Chain A
Amino acid sequence: GQNIDQPTEMTATEGAIVQINCTYQTSGFNGLFWYQQHAGEAPTFLSYNVLDGLEEKGRFSSFLSRSKGYSYLLLKELQMKDSASYLCAVRKGGRTGANNLFFGTGTRLTVIP
């Protein structure tokens, strides 16, 4: 199975920076995704890491350390609209050649004025 752990809830202030951590234990690791999900809506793609290091995309950055089974999502210049759940997902390769995404339970971020 996949053990994917993230904090359940976080609160941060508008304009600040927040880091959401994710640890995982899995075989067949083939990449790590971060998704944003507003309540009752579809998850939307934020970032992807397959090699160690930092990937930057505007206000969002994601870091991966494969040896430590660790990733984080960094959100800068927080805006009220960033209040959402952030889902860490591990892509796992299978025997059939298919890659499938397995999700953590998500971190609910609340941005306060």
Chain B
Amino acid sequence: DSGVTQTPKHLITATGQRVTLRCSPRSGDLSVYWYQQSLDQGLQFLIHYYNGEERAKGNILERFSAQQFPDLHSELNLSSLELGDSALYFCASSESLGDLDREGYGYTFGSGTRLTVV
């Protein structure tokens, strides 16, 4: 168990729908990062939040949005879903702004949410 919790593990939904993916970072981590991994694709950086504030945006579609709450958990909202949005969505957390932490790790990943759009 990495300490990063993602729910749900699996999600099947229809095109045009909206879903919310949830991530709880490791205890003490202030940063949350969201990534999308499509079949045979690399991990695509979507967005980064630090202590409740958006810090960086990657290749995130306008139909997608995220937020980080005061308890530091984060949610990724995906709307007007298309077949091409089917992917593994990973959340990662880090102690601060991506520097190595005391244990020598930078980013710890959750086990992901597998989204299937049908």
Contact = CB atoms under 8 A, between A and B. Distances in A.
Given A40-B88, A42-B110, A98 B104 contact: no
A97 B45 CA distance: 17
B43 interface: yes
A85 to B, nearest CB: 9
B69 interface: no
B71 to A, nearest CB: 21
Interface residues of B, number: 33
A31 B31 CA distance: 18
A41 B90 CA distance: 10
Interface residues of A, number: 26
Contact of A101 (B45, B50, B100, B104): B45
A48 B90 CA distance: 20
Interface stretch (A63-71, A75-83, A102-110): A102-110
Interface of A: 4, 31, 33, 35, 40-45, 48, 87, 89, 91, 94, 96-106
Given A45-B108, A102-B58, 5 more contacts: A40-B114, A89-B43, A91-B106, A100-B98, A104-B42
